[in-house]
Structures are given as structure tokens and as C-alpha cells.
Amino acid sequence: MNPTNLPQGQYAVTLKSDNLTYKSGVGCQQVIVFNTAPLLTGNYEKWFYTVNTSEGTVMTVQAGQPVYVFIVDQVTSTDNTGSVNVVFTPL
């Protein structure tokens, strides 16, 4: 998993172009975003954000602290097909 390094600031995070499916053909439609900014800010209330195809989120990013985007699969991700496009828009 490669981290996303963004300039410091607030971002609207949205899930676009979701055509990821699990083995059974069930669509993913959501991702989990892990933000490492609390390591610098000391505000440990919010590490994880969920983003889905109908609802995004707003998060604050600290310079030098990576953001990770991943999916959770109940068994294994090796049989998944497709892709997702997560967009970080500066506010």
C-alpha cells in the first residue's frame, strides 16, 4: 500500500469511478481513509474516515504525515476486480 502525501490543509474526500467488485460480484462502494495527522497534532479523536459513493468527508491533513486509503474484504482481496478513484479536493 502506497501512502498519499498531500500538502497541509483541509480536504473534501470523495469516492469516484467505483467499479470494484468482490468475488461474488458485490460492489465495494466504500473505502476507509487512515489519516496519520494526529501523530503531529495530538488530536487522537479521528484517525479513520469512511467514504462511500453517496457520501464523502472532510479531513485535515498535516504536511509530512501520509494518508492511506484501503478497502476491507471479509475474506481476501486477491479475488477482487476493478478499481476505485478517491479524490482529495483542497478546501
**Of 32, 33, 37, residue with least CA distance to 65:** 37
Q: Where are the domains of the chain?
A: 9-90
Q: Is the pTM of this model over 0.85?
A: no
Contact 8, 66 (CB under 8 A): no
Query: What does the pLDDT read at residue 74?
Result: 65
Higher pLDDT: 74 or 81? It is: 81
pLDDT by residue (tens digit) across 13-54? 999 877 777 777 777 788 889 999 889 888 888 889 999 888
